[in-house]
Structure 1
Amino acid sequence: MTLDEKLAQLVGLWQGVDRDGGAVAPLQDAMDTVEQGFAEFAAQGLGQITRHYGTRPLDPSEGLSALAAKQQWLRKNTRLGIPAIVHEECLTGLAAWKAATYPVPPAWGATFDPALVERMAARIGRVMAGLGIHQGLAPVLDVIRDMRWGRVEECISEDPYHVALTGAAYVRGLQSAGIVATLKHFVGYSNSRAGRNLAPVHAGEREVRDVLEFPFEVAVRDAGARSVMNSYAEIDGVPVAASAGRLTATLREEWGFDGTVVADYFAVAFLQTLHRVAENAGEAAAQAITAGIDVELPTGVTYLQPLQERIADGRLSMEVVDRALERVLRQKAELGLLDADWAPPSGPAPDLDTEEDRLLAASIAERSLVLLRNDGLLPLGDGAPAPRTIAVIGPNAESVPALFGCYSFINHVMPQHPDIEPGLRVETVESAIRREFDRAKILTAQGTGVDDGATEGIPAAVAAAYDSDVAVVVVGDRSGLFGRGTSGEGCDVDDLELPGAQRALVEAVIATGTPTIVVLLTGRAYAINWMLGGAAAVVQAFFPGEEGAAAVAGVLSGRVNPSGRMPMSLPRGAGGQPYSYLHPPLGAASSVTSIDTAPPVRYGFGLSYTEFAYEDFAVGAREVDAADVIRCAVTVRNAGDRGGAEVVQLYASDPVASVTRPLAQLVAFERVFLEPGQSVRVRFAVPTRLLAFTDRDGRRIVEPGEIRVSVRRDAGDVISEETLRLTGAVHHVDGTEARISTVTVSAPSSANAARPLEESV
């Protein structure tokens, strides 16, 4: 291969971006994007085609035909005839016009159901494969650290074990369909200063390795992820895009990763323009490819002419280019793109939003809704007369975009095309409530906008509440990009009050004395402690997707028994951020500070319309070798009068260690559905590897000593606790040990009970 042909395989091509509608990538307008036609740019070949479907509204069948033509052109008109890898965003479903759109990752986390996430990802992958796509830019494995960060809505949880299990499930699902999963954003991105996007990260190496890297390690070693995307972050002054320590030493040499590392969009150029560790584009390219970034995305800004000049004058060895090229060609071979008989898909595009998709989206949405408060009002009509008049109030009650995250096509691309239909059949919360309570009179009032601060509509909302038996106030976020929303990429905040005048609206409705239900459609958790004391009920819905409105209405009526659990702690206020329940003793409230760190609602919390009892918690042995497995079990019984799902949570704590440790950390969980009176025995096998930490000498170890294990309703609500001792010598962790717990559940005690629809989808 000539040098031109080699470099062509290391870049993408992004065409069709609407510059007038607002950027869809960071600092897109400041970058020198490609203006050449496809044939001119790809004359020597092409590594990747960037977001063919996800850049503008494109009819799927027309898009499939156009993509096939591009691939056939590469086959016939370049000397080597190598097709391109096609990548798309797919965080909440394929980000393409008319494609099914699922709940956002915090909603996945709220389900505590990795198997369901795996099914979703497999379905997304099958749709992508049918459209000739090879690589998906998901999942996001950043651990939530600061609720002010706009991209919280793209993250699964604040707990790294929770992120690891759920993210690995997504990887397995997507790759089961032959699609390359891309882990984002390796590493540290979510730990940015003050919750600002693309801000410096100041984290100790122990925090990076023990918390932020763990989900990526599991996804690479256990789930076999085939691609990784670098973080935009700079950690302690070193940009990840130029860090051989992160991208080569850790990722490849320690973890054994042998897939491709792709640049986050324009990240290589940012080494010059943002981080200023490179004098020019060629130096930026040399630093990135030497560190381990194989492919420049979204297009060839630095890896073509600037990199070629570095090689020509001898400042960069050809061996570095060949290393990246080998990885790219190996991946293309794995995808079948180098096979002599390869041909792109043709014919009519598959249906991108089938009934199967909608049933799956509904199941995830229903299981993700978290009931934060209920004074007995919910479910409506349960043991009391059904409401005759319901006021449905708030800026998100009749909003379709309020159900979706910023990486949905509806919020990512469609705002730039206001004259084109969204392409999805989506019900609003107001219309879903109207359908669910078809005998009730529905009064509506917006009250205020999401973030405009307008209050002139509040009196009409108050009047509607006065005239109703129940008020449902639907508030929260509008997701968007780079300041065009209140949540999403580049939509960071410096306080955690509900945006705009929404708090004033909620307080005014509560003050009417009409029983008030608040529904939160958000991408992050807000500081709503004031609301928990006044509203009759509060339902947290993290952007629940195309079937989310029906799920919300189902929780209000009781058709759906809420079973979601908080994947993040509810903040007390912006002043307590960053926050994680995984803090050591020094992070707890104390007499030497006036700031209370305790969250109003803890990680793992969620109410149900039934009650669950825990019995007979026991550990298998009081002494366990430090390199072995901790075994314990508990019986869970539905002590209420209706079927429901419980999330059984197992935590561990290390009271005394050579470095400070969290007060408690999640080490296993299991979602179980039980009919009234049913019980199951849940057995956990927890590898001691989950208690490992980086010691004072930088080694990953498991220390002998006392360990406490507890079953809890949330991170702080201890039901039962047992103590055991790890014995033997200090265990030095390597890559061979299990990184996840094994959970087995006995058959329900009443085995003949019918399995409900909610759990059978």
Structure 2
Amino acid sequence: MMPWTDTTRPLPERVEALLAEMTLDEKLAQLGSVWVGAELGSGNVAPMQEAFAEPAAFEEATAHGMGHITRPLGTSPVDPADGARRLAELQRDLIARSRLKVPAIAHEECLTGFTTYHATVFPTPLGLAATFDPEGVERMTTAIGESMCATGAHQGLSPVLDVVRDYRWGRVEETFGEDPYLVGMMGAAYVRGLESTGLVATLKHFAGYSASQAARNHAPVSMGPRTLRDVILIPFELAIREGGARSVMNSYSEIDGLPVAADAGLLTGVLRDEWGFEGTVVSDYWSIVFLLNMHQVAGTPGEAGALSLAAGIDVELPHTRCYGEPLAEAVRAGAVPEELVDRAARRVLRQKGELGLLDAGWTPTVPDGPLDIDPPEHRALAKELAERSIMLLANDGTLPLRPGQLALVGPCAADPLAFLGCYSYPNHGVMAGHPDMGLGVEVPTLLDVLGHALYAPGCDVMDDDPTMLLAAVEAASAAELCVCAVGDRPGLFGRGTSGEGCDAADLSLPGIQDELVEALIKTGTPIVLVVISGRPYALGRYEGRVAAMVQAFLPGEEGAAAVAGVLTGEVMPTGRLPVQVPRVAGAQPSTYLHPILGGNSEGVSNLDPTPLFAFGHGLSYTTFEYGEFALSAAEIATDGSVEVSCVVRNAGERAGAEVVQLYLSGPVAPVTRPVTQLAGFLRVELEAGEAARVTFTLHADRTAFTGVDLRRVVIPGEIGLALGASAADVRGRLTLQLVGEEREVGHDRVLTTPATRSPV
């Protein structure tokens, strides 16, 4: 028995024994990856794939072993059982031919579900964030992890923890919104679900990616250290500490001229030295070679590899370009210390040990028969989450729908792909080359669900052809009520209006959809505007001119039924906005998380960024009353905690759910602070007439901020607390005094605000 396969020995000891046995080439192989079948992929599924997809044959690439196998089931459409058997064959081949017989880690994408053919498509993360339901997200990712593990996968490249800074950015749909606490809590839940199945969760994109100039994908980031630490990094810290994430993926960004892939201050200083992270850092696809030809901070592949290795990237994905022979030459020439190679290899091998890949007798996963990765229980969960994600933004009493002649118009009404995110398999680029294979899962449309309606698309999402407008106007004119479904066509790299590389010039509805809505309004028929999109669009021009507005952020394969349920009243709307809805298309970028000068400062500018609908907003078919606001103490020490509570009552005639939100502001500080920021939330289900007391346990650490000298501190002063239904719908205010000495806090500070409900 080789000593590293002996499970009776401590894992660190086994790893050191294996590392000591390895040659330099074998160590470097563990830092590499191989993408089998990438040359056969139909359409780009990663940035600049056509320029960089030059993988060596599997036999050549794995001559000395291998760290990762890239997307063995996600690269081309394959039956899941067949894909699992093919992956098992690759693992057996690798073990048989390599001297040390160490299997590879197989990674896959899984943002809205396992990104492979026939897998359940859940709501996109922006839609999941609208549920304000971390427990539901954890159940979802447990289901995803179980499907992935059944095929032999070991690592999922999710969740995305970027905080939205500009709604025009194409990847807004992949995020959990614009508040770092909400993003972190939903992200930690996402991680817990994946990790509970044994799968390694990968946090991305660390860090700053979402703050790119002009919201362009991969554009430079101009950001100061306080915003980076107090907004951008918070979700990653939460997901590591509260979720247990074991992997992090670097960002493509360059922050103030320093590419993250070469930033030891972030990848080692913050991540490992400050936070104590012990997992692996994997490169975003080709981000190491981007140092050579996109950022131009390296002159050769070996120099790029040396920069990333020193910064703290352990594994090069999606295939080996810089960490193979170019890095080996640099080590042999004395330009790169072999200790850096050992450091990265040690982390990879430890993770393989945690996954059981070093154990004696390990064999790859091989299914006995067919694999159902869209089973009824997954579809039921997808439906539940979709229903909870739909937001009723405005309603003059027209909704729920009443019997009568209904017109259904709009380009998103009959397009199943409009309901799915860009990282769902049907929208992810691969299926474009296989038009005869269908979507792989059943995705009903709004027309399918509301089939009795007069239907006309009116226009397409992505072009300016007005020839279909007249038929839509005629359908609306002939109806008593018109439901208009507008929004996005998700895709990748310009093949859609939302998604990776699909950035927006402004926040008008894509194409001529605004013209369509205006034409429908002129008919005089009441209009219910349904927006199915991956980002919020400016809807202020329709305020008071349409009967109702409903927002759905790409709600997944069961999304159409969820939207229809809200329209008809069969489903109580409970979704809340994880981003604002802008009033006008050009008043952005602006999120709710801003200092005074970031909002409407009368007399300072003629532009008013006040949103049409605030962060946290969402209506219901019942009403909720708040009262009995209380603090357990009027003052606490700067290291103390306090209970903040209120009573919430369902004053309507139907059961519903309210998302009770706690916001804080202050104290007066030497650096500017947000006007208000989310400190806690709790989704509360209440029967008609039922009441509950909601209590938040708020620690003084939750008021911490990065000061002038870049130390994170809690300072004494007055804290304003607000309880309510959104950042703008405050139902009660309280004041808390922090007393005592200023405190410096670190990674061990309190990061969360526990919330509970109790009977009244």
**TM-score with structure 1 setting the length:** 0.96
Matched, 1:166 2:217: no
Match for residue 585 of structure 1 among 596, 600, 604: 596
How far 1:40 moved relative to its partner? 2.0
Matched, 1:31 2:31: no
Letter in 2 for 1:52: P
Match of 1:104 in 2: 124
Match of 1:418 in 2: 435
How far 1:734 moved relative to its partner? 2.1
Match of 1:757 in 2: none
Matched, 1:466 2:457: no
Matched, 1:731 2:743: yes
How far 1:416 moved relative to its partner? 2.7
Q: Distance in 1 between matches of 2:41 and 2:274?
A: 45
Match of 1:399 in 2: 415
- 1:487-502 matches, within 5 Å, as 487-502=498-513
Match of 2:6 in 1: none
Match for residue 116 of structure 1 among 123, 126, 136: 136
Match for residue 394 of structure 2 among 359, 365, 373: 373
Q: Distance in 2 between matches of 1:336 and 1:744?
A: 38
Going from structure 1 to structure 2, the CA distance change for 1:204 and 1:82 (only over 3 Å counts) comes to same
Q: Distance in 1 between matches of 2:99 and 2:689?
A: 70
Q: Provide Cα deviations, 1:560-595, integer angstroms capped at 9, x if missing partner.
A: 010100000112344333212111111121212111
Q: Secondary structure at the match of 1:506?
A: helix
How far 1:156 moved relative to its partner? 0.4
Going from structure 1 to structure 2, the CA distance change for 1:579 and 1:302 (only over 3 Å counts) comes to same
Q: Distance in 1 between matches of 2:743 and 2:208?
A: 27
Matched, 1:539 2:539: no
Match for residue 664 of structure 2 among 649, 652, 667: 652
Match of 1:672 in 2: 684
Matched, 1:52 2:69: no
Matched, 1:635 2:647: yes
Q: Provide Cα deviations, 1:37-60, integer angstroms capped at 9, x if missing partner.
A: 212221111110100111110111
Q: Secondary structure at the match of 1:371?
A: strand
Letter in 2 for 1:343: T
Letter in 2 for 1:350: L
Match of 1:246 in 2: 266
Match for residue 148 of structure 2 among 121, 128, 135: 128
How far 1:20 moved relative to its partner? 7.3
Going from structure 1 to structure 2, the CA distance change for 1:396 and 1:372 (only over 3 Å counts) comes to same
Matched, 1:269 2:289: yes
> Is the 1:201–1:236 Cα contact (8 Å) retained in structure 2?
yes
How far 1:349 moved relative to its partner? 4.4
Matched, 1:614 2:631: no
Q: Distance in 1 between matches of 2:418 and 2:39?
A: 23
Match of 1:433 in 2: 450
Q: Distance in 2 between matches of 1:342 and 1:479?
A: 40
Q: Percent identity?
A: 53
How far 1:630 moved relative to its partner? 2.6
Letter in 1 for 2:51: A
> Is the 1:494–1:574 Cα contact (8 Å) retained in structure 2?
no
Q: Distance in 1 between matches of 2:53 and 2:80?
A: 29
Q: Provide Cα deviations, 1:445-471, integer angstroms capped at 9, x if missing partner.
A: 011000211111111111111111211
Q: Provide Cα deviations, 1:522-549, integer angstroms capped at 9, x if missing partner.
A: 0000011112321111110000001000
- 1:43-442 matches, within 5 Å, as 43-346=63-366, 347-381=368-402, 386-387=403-404, 389-412=405-428, 413-434=430-451, 441-442=452-453
Q: Distance in 2 between matches of 1:655 and 1:64?
A: 56
Q: Secondary structure at the match of 1:174?
A: helix
Match of 1:21 in 2: 42
Q: Distance in 2 between matches of 1:516 and 1:17?
A: 47
Q: Provide Cα deviations, 1:709-755, integer angstroms capped at 9, x if missing partner.
A: 110221122211011100110011122222101111114x5xxxxxx
Q: Point out the more displaced range, 15-24 or 646-655.
A: 15-24
Point out 4+ residue stretches in structure 1 off by more than 4 angstroms: none
Q: Provide Cα deviations, 1:323-356, integer angstroms capped at 9, x if missing partner.
A: 0000000000000000012111112243100111
Q: Distance in 1 between matches of 2:191 and 2:90?
A: 28
Match of 1:722 in 2: 734
Going from structure 1 to structure 2, the CA distance change for 1:20 and 1:699 (only over 3 Å counts) comes to closer
Q: Distance in 2 between matches of 1:231 and 1:576?
A: 27
Q: Point out the more displaced range, 121-130 or 729-738.
A: 729-738
Matched, 1:477 2:488: yes
Match for residue 597 of structure 1 among 590, 609, 623: 609
> Is the 1:260–1:331 Cα contact (8 Å) retained in structure 2?
yes
Aligned length: 736
> Is the 1:46–1:84 Cα contact (8 Å) retained in structure 2?
yes
> Is the 1:131–1:349 Cα contact (8 Å) retained in structure 2?
no
Q: Distance in 1 between matches of 2:201 and 2:412?
A: 33
Q: Provide Cα deviations, 1:622-641, integer angstroms capped at 9, x if missing partner.
A: 11111111311100000011
Q: Provide Cα deviations, 1:175-233, integer angstroms capped at 9, x if missing partner.
A: 00000000000000000000000000000000000100000011112221100000000
How far 1:22 moved relative to its partner? 2.5
Match for residue 712 of structure 1 among 694, 714, 724: 724
Matched, 1:5 2:22: no
Match for residue 581 of structure 2 among 570, 588, 591: 570
> Is the 1:447–1:460 Cα contact (8 Å) retained in structure 2?
yes
How far 1:32 moved relative to its partner? 5.1
What do you get for the CA RMSD once the two structures are aligned?
Answer: 1.1
Q: Secondary structure at the match of 2:629?
A: strand
> Is the 1:148–1:574 Cα contact (8 Å) retained in structure 2?
no
Q: Secondary structure at the match of 2:436?
A: coil
Q: Distance in 2 between matches of 1:416 and 1:636?
A: 53
Letter in 1 for 2:138: E
> Is the 1:32–1:301 Cα contact (8 Å) retained in structure 2?
no
How far 1:18 moved relative to its partner? 5.2
Q: Point out the more displaced range, 323-332 or 649-658.
A: 649-658
> Is the 2:667–2:716 Cα contact (8 Å) retained in structure 1?
no
> Is the 2:39–2:54 Cα contact (8 Å) retained in structure 1?
no
Match of 2:693 in 1: 681
Match of 1:691 in 2: 703
Going from structure 1 to structure 2, the CA distance change for 1:619 and 1:148 (only over 3 Å counts) comes to same
Going from structure 1 to structure 2, the CA distance change for 1:20 and 1:668 (only over 3 Å counts) comes to closer
How far 1:391 moved relative to its partner? 0.9
Q: Distance in 2 between matches of 1:362 and 1:532?
A: 30
Letter in 2 for 1:13: V
Going from structure 1 to structure 2, the CA distance change for 1:349 and 1:209 (only over 3 Å counts) comes to farther
Which ranges in structure 2 are unaligned for 5 or more consecutive residues? 1-21
Q: Distance in 2 between matches of 1:54 and 1:378?
A: 41
> Is the 1:532–1:538 Cα contact (8 Å) retained in structure 2?
no
